[in-house]
Amino acid sequence: MTDLNKLSETLIAGKGPDLKNQVQQAIDEGTDASQILNSALLPGMEVVGERMENGDMFIPEVLMSAKAMSGALEILKPLLSAEESKSAGKVIIGTVKGDLHDIGKNLVSMMLESAGFEVINLGVDIAPEGFVEAVKKHDPQIVALSALLTTTMTQMQKTIDALKENGLKDQVKVIVGGAPVTEKFAKEIGAEGYAPDAGSANKLARSLLH
Ligand code: B12
């Protein structure tokens, strides 16, 4: 049987190649991709966050863990099952300006994709004008903004303002998320929705369109 704790420990230790091997092995042993994600990788990243906060882990080590996480997610991506196959709608997603955190954003992107959304992932450090241009180009129904820093949350408001200034706000629903973001904050800045994690982001996106 797969030892999920071992996977968490390998992630926390930032051993990317080992983690890939262990994730692949877990899959080969029949462990569900969602179980690997929810019971090993996400709790592992939580520990990384706590240690970073307590000063027990430093940026280079956190980066190693983050890279290991991204590598593992690449393996899990095709396996996180599709609930529905037809396109549920088009979503543009990105991490706001000044913010380089992308693990959570990529997870949300992956979950939406696996649930049938067409997702255009703009990447990190996306300025309000970047979102505006992308909306003009791709005509999505939803714009999803991610921020992990209290200092970059303000960029969410700026992005919504930029969409308004360009006359685009009425044609899209904006959803926001990331560790420091709250439902209350989402309301204050005029976003249509907030979700605390990737699973509920999927439900939120569906509820906004149907
Ligand atoms: C990994 C990490 C890094 C990595 C990022 C690598 C990468 N490729 O992403 C590196 C080392 C680069 C990094 C850098 C920094 N980091 Co950092 N980092 C983290 C850490 C440990 C984990 C974040 C993570 O990936 N979590 C796992 C994912 C799965 O969770 P998530 O991101 O929250 O996403 C979920 C939900 O929030 C939600 N969600 C996310 N986005 C969206 C979007 C939508 C639309 C929706 C609906 C939902 C949603 O769904 C996701 C999946 O369930 C956090 C600690 C923490 N507790 O969050 C600190 C943390 C975010 N970092 C922090 C800091 C301070 C920094 C630095 C400023 C450090 C420095 N001095 O240089 C820099 C900033 C760099 C920059 N300009 O962005 C602080 C932020 C404090 C604050 N409140 O502002 C934190 C909280 C750590 C701490 N406690 O001090 N970091």
Is 207 touching ligand 1 by the criterion CB < 6 Å?
no
Domain 4-79 homologous superfamily, CATH: Methionine synthase domain (1.10.1240.10)
> 44-80 as b/e, with b when 16 or more CB fall inside 10 Å?
bbebbeebeeeeebeeebbebbbebbeebbebbbeeb
Higher per-residue pLDDT: 141 or 34 = 141
pLDDT tens string 154-185: 999 999 999 999 999 999 999 999 999 999 99
Res. 22 pLDDT band, cuts 50 70 90: very high
Which tokens hold the place of 36?
Answer: 């690997």
Domain spanning 89-209: CATH 3.40.190.10: no
Helix axes of 59-76 and 16-28: crossing angle, nearest 10 degrees? 30
Q: Is the pLDDT of residue 78 over 90?
A: no
- Kindly report, residue by residue over 79-125, the tens digit of the pLDDT: 875 434 456 799 999 999 999 999 999 988 877 876 668 899 999 99
Q: Is the CB of 177 inside a 6 Å radius of any atom of ligand 1?
A: yes
pLDDT of residue 82: 47
**Looking at this protein, which amino acid is placed at residue 133?**
E
For tokens 């509920």, the residue is 200
The residue extents of the domains of the chain are: 4-79, 89-209
pLDDT of 59 > 70? The answer is yes
Q: What is the mean pLDDT of residues 186-204?
A: 91
* pLDDT, tens only, 62-72: 889 988 998 99
Give the Cα separation of 156 and 167 in Å (integer).
17
Kindly state the tokens that stand for 85: 């196959």
* Substitution site in 65, 125, 148, 150 for ligand 1 pocket (most atoms within 8 Å of beta carbon): 148
Nearest to 121 by CA among 145, 153, 89: 145
Give the pLDDT band of residue 52 (cuts 50, 70, 90): confident
For residue 93, the surrounding DSSP H or E stretch is: strand 89-96
Q: Is 181 a pocket residue for ligand 1 (Cβ < 6 Å)? A: no
| CA 33/CA 140 separation, integer angstroms | 29
- Which candidate, 1, 103, 99, places its Cα nearest to that of 42? 103
pLDDT of 28 strictly over 80: yes
- Mention every residue, 6+ apart, whose C-beta is less than 8 A from residue 50: none
Q: Verify whether ligand 1 is closer than 6 Å to residue 178 (CB atom).
A: yes
